[in-house]
Amino acid sequence: NLHANGASFFFICIYLHIARGFYYGSYLYKETWNTGIILLLTLMATAFVGYVLPWGQMSFWGATVITNLFSAIPYIGQTLVEWAWGGFSVDNPTLTRFFALHFLLPFMITSLVIIHLTFLHESGSNNPLGIPSNCDKIPFHPYFSLKDLLGFAIMLLSLTTLALFSP
């Protein structure tokens, strides 16, 4: 499935990005790092609700188990679970809600990416040495924009190759 494989490729890129952030010490820039964490959690939520959409046995039980984790929240847990389900068990209303979330969350992700990049522009990128070197600073656009475009093209080419030669 092209969509599922694309999500897997995307998460591989995200995990590599986080590893690079740890290596370069990017977590020291709190605003950029915190928006990145919120972005990761939103991406994981989008992937989870997308995982439920095929509506097979694995999807059904995945939705049941993960949404039941909310029942551990004191006082409001069970109400929260029933609200997420749209009833008293995982059923068609759950699927409808998860489909709507799977459609709407990417717009929130796009907004968070813009916020994340805005904070990155304010703080500047980090380097492995951690030494600020203003004389060697490279402007974000066009260098990093083209670099991101190349990375996207490589990911898209890999995904297309996987989809065409291993359907």
Instruction: Supply the CATH number for residue 121's domain.
Output: 1.20.810.10
* CA neighbor of 102 nearest in space, from 64, 47, 36: 47
Asked if residue 78 belongs to a domain, the reply is no
pLDDT surpasses 70 at 123: yes
What's this model's pTM, rounded to 2 decimal places?
A: 0.82
- Domain total in the chain: 1
Report d(CA 55, CA 64) in Å as an integer.
Answer: 12
Within a domain: 24? yes
In a domain, 45, yes or no: yes
Residue 113 has pLDDT above 90, yes or no: yes
What is the band of 25 on the pLDDT scale with cuts at 50, 70, 90? Answer: confident
- Give the helix/strand (H/E) hosting 132: none
Residue 10 confidence (pLDDT): 93
Confidence of residue 90 (pLDDT cuts 50, 70, 90): very high
**Which residues 6+ apart lie within 8 Å of 120 measured at CB?**
32
Choose the weakest-confidence range: 10-24, 81-95, 97-111, 118-132: 118-132
Q: What rounded mean pLDDT belongs to the chain?
A: 90
Please state, in angstroms and as integers, the Cα–Cα distance from residue 111 to each residue in 3, 14, 57, 76, following that order.
22, 17, 34, 29
The residue among 50, 80, 51 whose CA lies nearest residue 67 is 80
Residue 133 binned pLDDT confidence (cut-offs 50, 70, 90): low
Any domain includes 105: yes
Q: Does residue 131 fall inside a structural domain?
A: yes
**pLDDT-based confidence at residue 145 (cuts at 50, 70, 90):** confident
Q: Inform me whether the pLDDT recorded for 167 exceeds 80.
A: no
